[in-house]
Amino acid sequence: MEDDKWHNREINDVEMALLYKDFPNQWLLFEVLEINENRRPVLFKLIDRGNNKEDILDLIMENENWDSTKKHIILFADPDKPCDLE
């Protein structure tokens, strides 16, 4: 994943829809970098992506350096539904 344009960069909520188009039908793991005053996530960093959710969950469980104090979300990039974080 390190060679793709989304890895390790800040992604805002508007760009999230573009990311969905780049990775249809994939599970996406994000670190939430910023939440607005309505408690809605608005800034993210893509940590990993995969074809099945179990791979993402395994990454979290098996990573001894995982920082559980940070906020994370897992999303499925469904090409038939709009990206909606609310």
Classified as helix, coil or strand, 33 is: strand
- Cα distances from 12 to residues 4, 57, 75, 85, in angstroms, run 17, 23, 15, 11
What is the pLDDT at residue 34?
95
Q: Which residue has the tokens 């994939």?
A: 26
pLDDT digits (tens, 9 = 90+) for 46-83: 999 999 999 999 988 888 888 889 999 999 998 888 77
- Cα distances from 20 to residues 5, 15, 56, 61, 86, in angstroms, run 13, 9, 17, 25, 16
pTM of the model: 0.84
Q: Where along the chain do its domains lie?
A: 10-76
pLDDT digits (tens, 9 = 90+) for 7-49: 778 999 788 888 888 899 999 999 999 999 999 889 999 999 9
